[in-house]
């Protein structure tokens, strides 16, 4: 199957490590870590490409190509386990919907197959023309937390330093921006402090807006391995699978988290159940915080949250009595108009009770996508490479020096965040958009508005592994990408562990690894000399190491991909000489941050930050009397289902059509029968869905999973003021019979 590649010179054979077949197979780079092909039963480990748990899967190879997989038993994350998505990861690659050639919209308005040369010609001429007419900032990009870190870094570097863009952001805005800002403000750096071992070491785990059983099933397995008889407290308006397995479920009113956690702080302080030494030595702002929470009396908080005063006292007492308490949160916190302060209300509880830096403790945000953590550090979007700041001359000089580029190529202003990029399109300031590995037409908030905005673009490029995604169908140019399993690189999981992904399968047709696409763009744009050193993902990894030096995420002591494989992944920081930097294996396996109580602010202390809770932007009204919650539906469905929807097995395990969870009382009042098709309406849209009558939702609330393409027709585009993260999880709707 020798396909002639027009740009073979862009593929670099390194140390003879790529076999001829690998090199000539369409797309992708060769294996960074070469399995022994002489053995028929050779396997090679790699990190799963779905969720941020970062399980390791052993890929079984025949003649160097994947024929199956099993979970890795020797990996400190998953210990031999995988969820159905992991098991099916290879099977979603083979699909007739794969993008196999570039597609360019022709005069008749149809997407038509073209060569890479034509595609790159159109890409450069259209974007350059737009920049000439409207300025360099009139072309922007939207990236993802689902590419390898090397690819994200190259994308961000080519776009900003090569093509002169100013604005780029990614789907991590929809997901982790709140945690990023909360950590930065509180700790001085975006640093989730925990290691997964903490699930097994904790005496009390408090899960807030996190449905771990569904969204991170293998992390839940780790919780189940805890032998300390832990108290498991779940704070979620819904009686989720996770809540059903809790020892205490606080079914709070949507968006009353801030009141709840200030109320718990109130009780802890009143009873003197706090750690005075820790507060004095390691925090700032306690007096002000204590004064602030004084008004959050148990009675007031019970009223706001819909919980009983007794249940508040019970949780506070549990926090006090248990030696090791850990706080875990996900989208129920992050996706809120006051998410940053809600996340910080949890961080504050951990700080004032001294539940930081010890086994089984921590203020722990669980990430979502396989490489959200890589995008947080290296996507070069709203933060400069390596967790730096575009607005700081010193940071720009450091990066310019490390990359050997002219410092003037680095913008001195910050990117707009995702919602501002969309506003920029609406205002006619952004005319060209490059969308890589995300599907905004399905996943962005208030879908009809989003479609209308993207329609206004002069040129939309979508780089995806499938040509059929909702967003690809709107594109002027589709660039076919190799997928997980068809390319090399690294991911960083929720506990900051860096793990390797590899090419174990050829990409279909002319699809190329995103890394190669970025190199092609640089080549055709005429800026490839800036990226001479970025020959392959593994070369890029060495550049990333340099970029991490001296930062809290310093991982300069990791040698190379092979080293990562040998150690079962390695968590940052990993600095020579410091903890974890020695050659001893055991030191690489588990590491948590802040064991010395030193945070990244100049004075080494964490900040206690707080604010008055605000009312919901769109509370229920007479016309729209119910609150819509959205989120993950099943463990087998991934986001917009472009991937999981291709697996026959996963499709069998998930509901075929969109459904809405309705409480039996509301169903009765509206005369709705179970499984009946009903309409859910908000001020923005009307969605048909099957009624799933269930007690998992409270009266007055309904839940629709995000996996179906119409769900976001209902949601309301409001954002957290600090993180600009969309508030997907509460808007007003009504349900009606059809």
Ligand X SMILES: Nc1nc2c(c(=O)[nH]1)N[C@H]1C(S)=C(S)[C@@H](COP(=O)(O)OP(=O)(O)OC[C@H]3O[C@@H](n4cnc5c(=O)[nH]c(N)nc54)[C@H](O)[C@@H]3O)O[C@H]1N2
Find the binder of Mo ion among 11, 90, 175, 219 (CB under 5 A).
Answer: 175
Find the binder of ligand X among 101, 138, 146, 449 (CB under 6 A).
Answer: 146
Half-sphere exposure of 349 (CA within 13 A, CB side): 35
Nearer to ligand X, 548 or 642 (CB): 642
Instruction: Check residue 465 for interaction with ligand X (CB under 6 A).
Output: yes
Q: How many C-beta atoms lie closer than 10 Å to residue 310's C-beta?
A: 10
Q: With residue 344 as reference, give the H or E element that holds it.
A: helix 339-352
Among ligand X, Mo ion, ligand SF4, none, the one that 464 touches (CB under a kind-dependent 5 to 8 A) is ligand X
DSSP β-bridge partners for residue 137 = none
Instruction: Check residue 639 for interaction with ligand SF4 (CB under 6 A).
Output: no
Tokens 């050193």 found at: 533
DSSP β-bridge partners for residue 659 = 690
Of the ranges 77-85, 222-230, 456-464, 619-627, which one interacts with ligand SF4 (CB under 6 A)?
Answer: 77-85
Instruction: Check residue 48 for interaction with ligand SF4 (CB under 6 A).
Output: yes
Q: Give the C-alpha separation, 576 to 558, whole Å.
A: 9
- Give the contacts of 586 (CB within 8 A, at least 6 positions apart): none
Find the binder of ligand SF4 among 18, 32, 66, 85 (CB under 6 A).
Answer: 85
Q: Give the C-alpha separation, 197 to 347, whole Å.
A: 19
Instruction: Check residue 443 for interaction with ligand X (CB under 6 A).
Output: yes
Residues in the chain: 738
DSSP for 381-406, please give it.
Answer: SSSBTTTB-TT-HHHHHHHHHHHT--
Q: How many residues bind Mo ion (CB under 5 A)?
A: 2
Closest by alpha carbon to 333, among 716, 738, 729?
Answer: 729
Q: How many C-beta atoms lie closer than 10 Å to residue 292's C-beta?
A: 18
CA 504 to chain CA centroid, Å, is 24
Nearer to ligand X, 48 or 437 (CB): 437
Instruction: Check residue 88 for interaction with ligand X (CB under 6 A).
Output: no
Among Mo ion, ligand SF4, ligand X, none, the one that 718 touches (CB under a kind-dependent 5 to 8 A) is none
Among Mo ion, ligand SF4, ligand X, none, the one that 438 touches (CB under a kind-dependent 5 to 8 A) is ligand X
Nearer to ligand X, 315 or 465 (CB): 465
Residues 311-370 contacting Mo ion, CB under 5 A: 368
Is the CB of residue 192 less than 8 Å from the CB of residue 182? no
Nearest approach in angstroms of CB 513 to ligand X is 8
Token pair for 295: 């008004």
Instruction: Check residue 215 for interaction with ligand X (CB under 6 A).
Output: yes
Q: Give the C-alpha separation, 149 to 164, whole Å.
A: 21
Residues 204-263 contacting ligand SF4, CB under 6 A: 216-218
Find the binder of ligand X among 61, 258, 312, 331 (CB under 6 A).
Answer: 331
Contacts 24+ apart (CB under 8 A), 117-124: 117/6, 119/477, 119/479, 120/520, 120/521, 120/523, 120/524, 121/524, 122/477, 123/461, 123/477, 123/479, 123/521, 123/524, 124/521, 124/524, 124/525
Instruction: Check residue 536 for interaction with ligand X (CB under 6 A).
Output: no
Nearer to ligand X, 382 or 630 (CB): 630
Q: How many residues bind ligand X (CB under 6 A)?
A: 61
- Pairing state between β 103-105 and 731-737: unpaired
CA 543, 35, 217, 364 dihedral sign is: negative
Q: How many residues bind ligand SF4 (CB under 6 A)?
A: 14
Instruction: Check residue 501 for interaction with ligand X (CB under 6 A).
Output: no
End-to-end CA distance of the chain: 54
Find the binder of ligand X among 82, 159, 205, 208 (CB under 6 A).
Answer: 208
- Pairing state between β 103-105 and 626-631: unpaired
Nearer to ligand X, 51 or 410 (CB): 51
3-class SS of residue 514: helix
Among ligand X, Mo ion, ligand SF4, none, the one that 722 touches (CB under a kind-dependent 5 to 8 A) is none
Q: Residues interacting with ligand SF4, by CB under 6 A? A: 48, 50-51, 53-55, 78, 82-83, 85-86, 216-218
Q: Residues interacting with ligand X, by CB under 6 A? A: 51, 144, 146-147, 171, 174-175, 208-211, 214-216, 235-238, 240, 254-255, 257, 330-332, 335, 368-369, 436-440, 442-443, 463-466, 469, 481, 483-484, 514, 629-632, 635, 637-640, 642-643, 706, 711-712, 715, 728-729
């Amino acid at each position: 199957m020798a396909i002639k590649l027009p740009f073979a010179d862009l593929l670099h054979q390194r140390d003879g490590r790529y076999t001829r077949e690998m090199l000539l197979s369409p797309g992708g780079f060769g294996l960074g870590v070469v399995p022994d092909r002489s053995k028929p039963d050779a396997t090679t480990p790699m990190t799963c490409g779905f969720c941020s748990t970062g399980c390791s899967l052993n890929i079984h190879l025949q003649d160097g190509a994947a024929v199956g997989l099993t979970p890795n038993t020797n990996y400190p994350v998953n210990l031999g386990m995988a969820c159905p998505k992991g098991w099916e990861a290879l099977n979603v690659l083979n699909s007739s919907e794969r993008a196999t050639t570039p597609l360019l919209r022709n005069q008749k308005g149809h997407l038509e197959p073209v060569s890479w040369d034509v595609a790159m010609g159109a890409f450069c001429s259209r974007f350059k023309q737009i920049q000439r007419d409207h300025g360099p900032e009139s072309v922007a990009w939207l990236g993802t937390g689902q590419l390898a870190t090397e690819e994200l870094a190259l994308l961000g570097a080519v776009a900003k330093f090569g093509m002169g863009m100013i604005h780029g952001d990614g789907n991590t805005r929809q997901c982790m921006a709140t945690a990023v800002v909360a950590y930065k403000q509180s700790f001085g750096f975006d640093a989730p402090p925990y290691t997964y071992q903490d699930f097994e070491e904790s005496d009390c785990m408090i899960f807030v807006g996190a449905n771990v059983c569904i969204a991170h099933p293998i992390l839940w397995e780790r919780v189940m391995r805890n032998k300390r008889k832990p108290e498991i407290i779940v704070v979620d308006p819904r009686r989720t699978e996770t809540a059903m397995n809790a020892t205490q479920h606080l079914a709070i009113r949507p968006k009353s988290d801030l009141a709840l956690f200030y109320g718990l702080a109130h009780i802890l302080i009143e009873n003197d159940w706090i750690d005075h030494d820790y507060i004095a030595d390691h925090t700032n702002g306690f007096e002000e915080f204590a004064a602030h929470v004084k008004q959050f009396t148990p009675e007031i908080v019970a009223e706001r949250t819909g919980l009983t005063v007794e249940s508040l006292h019970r949780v506070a007492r549990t926090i006090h009595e248990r030696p090791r308490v850990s706080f875990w949160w996900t989208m129920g916190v992050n996706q809120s108009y006051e998410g940053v302060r809600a996340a910080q209300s949890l961080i504050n509880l951990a700080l004032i009770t001294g539940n930081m830096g010890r086994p089984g403790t921590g203020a722990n945000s669980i990430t979502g996508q396989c490489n959200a953590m890589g995008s947080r550090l290296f996507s070069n979007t709203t933060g400069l490479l390596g967790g730096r700041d575009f607005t700081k001359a010193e940071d720009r000089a450091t990066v310019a020096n490390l990359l050997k580029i002219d410092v003037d190529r680095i913008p001195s202003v910050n990117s707009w965040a995702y919602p501002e990029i969309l506003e920029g399109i609406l205002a006619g300031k952004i005319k060209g958009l490059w969308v890589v590995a995300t599907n905004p037409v399905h996943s962005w908030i208030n879908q009809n508005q989003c479609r209308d905005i993207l329609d206004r673009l002069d040129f939309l490029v979508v780089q995806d592994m499938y040509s059929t995604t909702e967003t690809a169908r709107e594109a002027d140019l589709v660039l076919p990408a190799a997928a997980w399993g068809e390319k090399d690189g690294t991911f960083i999981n929720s506990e900051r562990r860096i793990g390797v992904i590899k090419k174990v399968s050829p990409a279909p047709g002319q699809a190329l690894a995103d890394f190669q696409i970025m190199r092609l763009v640089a080549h055709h744009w005429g800026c490839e000399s800036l990226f001479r050193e970025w020959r392959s993902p593994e070369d890029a990894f060495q550049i990333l190491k340099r970029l991490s030096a001296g930062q809290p995420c310093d991982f300069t002591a990791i040698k190379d991909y092979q080293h990562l494989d040998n150690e079962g992944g390695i968590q940052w920081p990993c600095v020579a000489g410091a903890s974890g930097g020695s050659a001893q294996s055991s030191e690489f396996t588990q590491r948590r941050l802040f064991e010395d109580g030193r945070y990244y602010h100049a004075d080494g202390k964490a900040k206690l930050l707080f604010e008055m809770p605000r009312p919901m932007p769109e509370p229920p009204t007479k016309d729209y009397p119910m609150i819509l919650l959205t989120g993950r539906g099943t463990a087998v469905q991934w986001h917009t289902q472009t991937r999981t929807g291709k697996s026959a097995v996963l499709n069998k395990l998930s509901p075929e059509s969109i459904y809405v969870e309705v409480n039996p009382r509301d169903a009765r009042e509206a005369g709705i029968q179970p499984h009946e098709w009903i309409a859910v309406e908000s001020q923005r849209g009307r969605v048909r869905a099957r009624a799933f009558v269930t007690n998992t939702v409270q009266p007055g609330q309904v839940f629709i999973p995000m996996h179906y393409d119409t769900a976001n027709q209902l949601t309301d585009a409001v954002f957290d003021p600090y993180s600009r993260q969309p508030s997907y999880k509460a808007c007003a709707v009504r349900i009606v019979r059809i």
